[in-house]
Amino acid sequence: MNSSLFQLEAIDRAYARFASISCARVIVGRLNEKFWSISFFSLAVFASWLAFQLTPSADATPPSLIIQVLTCLTFATGFTASAHVLGATSHLVTRKVTLLVVKLVFCTCIAALAVNVVVSFILYQPVGRYVMAIAMGGTALFACLLRSATWMFSAAYMPKISLVGDEKFCEESSELLKKKNLPLKIQTFSLRQDCQVSPSFLCDFDASSYPVSIHRLCQRLNDSEADHIVYQPAHWEVLEQPLVEALASGKTVSPFSQYVEEHYQTMPTWEIPNSGLFSKSFANSSPSFLMAKRLCDVALAIVGLICAMPLLAIAAVMIKLEDGGPVFYNQQRVGRYGKTFTIYKLRSMCTNSEASGAKWASKGDSRITRIGKIIRRTRVDELPQFLNILLGDMSFIGPRPERPEFTESLDVELAHYNLRHLLKPGLTGWAQINYPYGDSIEDAKQKLTYDLYYVKYATLALDLQITLRTIGAAMQGAR
């Protein structure tokens, strides 16, 4: 009797441990940019407050509460904003501790500079160097430990998902998810080609090739340790029964496109359900959003042009001295709703660069001049596009405008490519900060997944995030 009770208690403890680990996997897997922004801000506030408590005052008079509060808030704001700029708050950041430490230390330096500027100008009170040293060291240490701990946990107890769909879907989806930075264990249930006659599935964990029936699939999905079941919407008629039963048993079930949008902030164009194309939120065209976005565009374009004048003058002189050719060049690009407009840029290629016809710029392109390499890498060649923003042809944030010669072929090659024209093209965008400069159809396909994500989820908050990260991309010469 006692032995039976002991076994039951052991089983209960084992199940409780599994349930807690599974729950924790789901929670860690959903730690997004908002979580890390709030966490970094809170850690910076705590570290700077702790620095005041641990640092004795030279004249035995502690700093006033106003100075402490202003210092903590300024330091935390500067640190969090800098982390945004460098992408340190992204849940998709490269998982290298050394690179993370470098970014966090740099962010603390920017935050300390912000404190000295703000507090000195407003209250005319310098903040002690020991306070700043402890705040900087504590913030970098706490932030690094927290991110490293979540990385270690997610690597040891990786979230598990079950992919359910046809063979091509399972192969392409597995390949896409394995390329991402988030660790993941993938289990596939591949629908046989003759599923319309006798629906059955092949499981990747089966040593044999015997198919699994619909009834057996229901049992497998319910018994699996997967945290999430991701299915192919095209086969909903066949998958309805097992997915509904899995949902009723407490499993999380979602279509592939929704799963990728939530976790990876892209939109897989080859798996967008037809209902998703006509959803009310696919393109945020509300008058209030468009008006606010336009006001921000005009304000930023005016400030940008004024600040860019010295850089434009220097770049113009250097371009002219190099080969004596024109400083600016005009080009036709495709804008909102497919209408063409003239874009303005600083010339970065030789004057006869397209004598043989239009073609993509590639890495190490021989047509790019010596000065052109510098202004392209620092993105100075894009500054004249502030004029396009003032004219209303472009927005500050949006999909990059492509040439009509390229869009004609891309419309044929890539599904839903024309949907990126639902919003005005931008000087920078979600694809530009998440994907490197591309020069092929495959690159255009990958960038389209980011462009359509922005078209669907465009908000002023997302625009602010893109603006901050664009600064970081420009600082790193990411082009």
Q: How many CA atoms lie within 13 A of 238 on its CB side?
A: 24
Residues 350, 422 contacting (CB under 8 angstroms) = no
Chain Cα centroid distance, residue 454:
10
Max distance between CA atoms of the chain, in angstroms, equals 97
**Residue 34 has what pLDDT?**
81
Mean pLDDT by runs of 10 across the 479 residues of the chain is 47 45 55 83 93 72 80 92 85 83 92 87 78 91 90 77 84 82 81 60 58 73 78 81 81 85 82 61 73 92 91 87 81 90 86 61 68 81 90 92 85 84 90 77 84 87 85 64
Extents of the domains making up the chain: 31-156, 160-264, 287-475
Instruction: Please enumerate, as own/partner, the contacts of 286-295 that have beta carbons within 8 Å and a separation of 24 or more.
Output: 289/458, 289/459, 289/460, 292/460, 293/395, 293/397, 293/460, 293/463, 294/392, 294/395
Residues 115, 71 contacting (CB under 8 angstroms) = yes
Taking the C-alpha atoms of residue 392 and residue 390, their distance in angstroms, rounded to an integer, is 5
Q: Is 401 exposed, middle or buried (0-12, 13-18, 19+ CB in 10 A)?
A: buried
The tokens describing 471, both together, are 């600064």
Report CA-CA distances (Å) from 69 to 46, 82, 129, 139, 318.
Answer: 11, 20, 17, 16, 48
Q: What is the pLDDT of residues 379-388, one digit of tens each?
A: 888 889 999 9
Taking the C-alpha atoms of residue 404 and residue 334, their distance in angstroms, rounded to an integer, is 6
Residue whose structure tokens are 């080969």: 323
Report CA-CA distances (Å) from 289 to 42, 281, 334, 396, 460.
Answer: 30, 12, 22, 14, 8
Chain Cα centroid distance, residue 252:
24
**Residue 477 has what pLDDT?**
55
CATH architecture for residues 160-264: 3-Layer(aba) Sandwich (3.40)
**Residue 274 has what pLDDT?**
61
**Residue 18 has what pLDDT?**
44
